[in-house]
Amino acid sequence: MYPHKYIGVFFDSSKKLIGVPCGQNQFGAVELDIFFTLEPGCSDDELEEFITTVLDACYSKEYMPDEPTAMQKYTGIKSPITAEKNHGFIAIDWLQAKDYTFYPMKPNKGNRGGYIGINGIVLNVPVSYEKGALALAFRHALKVAYEHTFWKPK
């Protein structure tokens, strides 16, 4: 059992979720090349099950650096940066003895792509959470990240 797990949850403009578990390489945690999806309009129970399913898949296989990323496989796009384009992102850390931490992110508009934190917005849920707390925190993180990813001034 690993005391720390990390997942990335990408989403598109329809709020379809693509969950990517982490694995390990010589430098630390890395995203594996597998993914799980969840359609928009899901219940809180389905959302919490999705989060725990993706977390349970962490370290489930060996990291293969030459394999396409999960988002490349999901989108069918060869470039990892382009595969993530037009998707929002939420990072979730799980510490066995402490909590779940949700980090809503926004696209990095620089040349390298990727995502950066949104003005220190972080949501924590203790590991001994009440039913619905994970879904509530995730939905709040999704709202914040969605607005920073897809909102366009009129």
pLDDT in tens, 19-37: 999 998 878 789 999 999 9
- At 52, which amino acid appears? T
Q: Rounded distance, CA 140 to CA 123, Å?
A: 9
Q: Bigger pLDDT: 97 or 101? A: 101
| Mean pLDDT over the full length of the chain | 90
Residue 39 has pLDDT above 90, yes or no: yes
Is 4-150 a domain of CATH 1.10.260.40? no
Answer whether 33's CB lies under 8 Å from 67's CB. yes
For 62-100, b/e burial (b = at least 16 CB within 10 A) is ebeeeebbbbbebbebeebeebbeebbbbbbbbeeeebb
**Is residue 152 very low, low, confident or very high in pLDDT (cuts 50, 70, 90)?**
low
The residue extents of the domains of the chain are 4-150
Q: Rounded distance, CA 103 to CA 117, Å?
A: 7
